[in-house]
DNA sequence: TCGCAACAGTTTCAATCGCAACAAGAGGCC
DNA sequence: GGCCTCTTGTTGCGATTGAAACTGTTGCGA
């Protein structure tokens, strides 16, 4: 009749998510003073090439107000440029500058290394199970297509 | 050389954690107007019986300021009582009242049902893989013993 | 016994968050 | 064209957050 927090799936996922986040946060924080929304926009734009704020939000699962603020911060660093789309003047085409792309490249290596360092602590079987399990859960929760909050 | 956000483990875990949280939040929010810290303290005290704020923080992986605020809120609802420990007057023994325990019981059923409903969408093999994978990751991240932030 | 570091829990404060309202534009319908 | 609705992105605002400072207490070592 009890619940046992440590066995409750939402709780376990939240703890894992936060622990993982703590492992990688120092990388983008200490190197460049980025926060998580900014880091995600940076990756999203590197993934997508030129894209609108809406695209970035969909690709990085972030609320549009977060995108708006992160884009402004990155723009002030001159890591991205806005160019108004003549076909639809409501939206703007966002593109990483050379400096932005350089910063991205500086961060990707350590990021992947950190991720790999953690995965290395798992047995090959557990790594396989992790891949299977996460994909299955993403399907069960309808996350196969990334959707921004709201 | 790219990173591909949707394959990056910290990102995937964060999305899953948030999606799962959205699935269960309506239960404790709509029934009783609780927020997550309060819900977790409720469960922690039901798990632990009488315990100190520090114990609750360790058991529910929450920062002590969160605990402090959640405990005050639950106290004002008369869902828990504080009793000062004569052996160490720095800490207080927290205990659920009958009303608090009743609320907990009202919530546990729907919570477990929601969790089960999601797990039911997985195949038995995927469910097994999930259990294996989460435990392995918890070990790899040193979460086997629940630790509060900071 | 005194002094001091460690500890439990609270409060202050600045930063972050997301909802809701908003402005500006697009597109459909008459 | 004129009107209405939907969409994109920004901003105002109240709520939530955690780092750091603080209060009161304990226990240890000189």
Print the domain residue range for A18: 5-140
Nucleotide showing the shortest C1' distance to residue B54 CA: C8
Nearest residue on chain B to A144, judged by CA atoms? B6
Asked if residues B36 and B66 have their Cβ atoms less than 8 Å apart, the reply is: no
Tell me if A137 and B130 make a contact (CB, 8 A cut-off).
Answer: yes
d(CA B133, CA B9): 13
User: pLDDT value at position A145?
Assistant: 66
For B65-95, write each residue's pLDDT tens digit.
Answer: 999 999 999 999 999 999 998 899 999 999 9
Does residue A145 lie in a domain region?
A: no
Query: Nearest-CA distance from A29 to chain B in Å?
Result: 15
CATH of the domain at A55: 1.10.10.10
pLDDT category at B149 given cuts 50, 70, 90 is low
Whose CA is closest to A148, among A41, A61, A65? Answer: A61
**How many distinct structural domains can be found in chain B?**
1
> Are residues A92 and A85 in contact, defined by beta-carbon separation less than 8 angstroms?
yes
Task: Give pLDDT tens digits for A52-77.
Answer: 999 999 999 999 999 999 999 999 99
Does residue B133 form part of some domain? yes
B150 domain residue, yes or no: no
Reduced to 3 states (helix: H, G, I; strand: E, B; else coil), residue B50 is coil
* CB < 7 A contacts with chain C (nucleic strand): A 35-37, 62-63, 65-66, 69, 87-90, 149-150; B 52-54, 57, 64-65, 67-69, 71-72, 88, 90-92
Positive or negative, the Cα torsion across B63, B66, B70, B72? positive
Residue B146 lies in a domain: no
Section A16-25 average pLDDT:
97
Question: How many residues does the structure list for chain A?
Answer: 150
Question: What's the pLDDT score for residue B1?
Answer: 76
Residue contact A3–B43, C-beta within 8 A: yes
- pTM of the full structure: 0.94
With an 8 Å Cβ cutoff, are B47 and A10 in contact? no
Q: What is the pLDDT of residue A146?
A: 60
């Amino acid at each position: 009749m009890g619940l046992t927090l440590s066995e409750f799936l939402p709780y376990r996922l939240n703890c894992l998510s936060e622990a993982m986040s703590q492992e990688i946060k120092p990388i983008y924080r200490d190197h460049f003073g980025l926060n998580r929304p900014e880091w995600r926009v940076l990756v999203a734009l590197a993934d997508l090439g030129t894209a609108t704020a809406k695209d970035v939000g969909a690709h990085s699962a972030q609320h549009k107000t977060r995108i708006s603020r992160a884009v402004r911060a990155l723009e002030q660093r001159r890591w991205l440029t806005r160019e108004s789309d003549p076909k639809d003047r409501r939206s703007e085409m966002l593109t990483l500058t050379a400096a932005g792309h350089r910063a991205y490249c500086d961060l990707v290596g350590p990021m992947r290394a950190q991720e790999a360092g953690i995965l290395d602590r798992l047995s090959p079987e557990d790594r396989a199970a992790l891949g299977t399990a996460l994909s299955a859960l993403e399907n069960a929760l309808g996350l196969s297509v990334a959707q921004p909050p709201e």
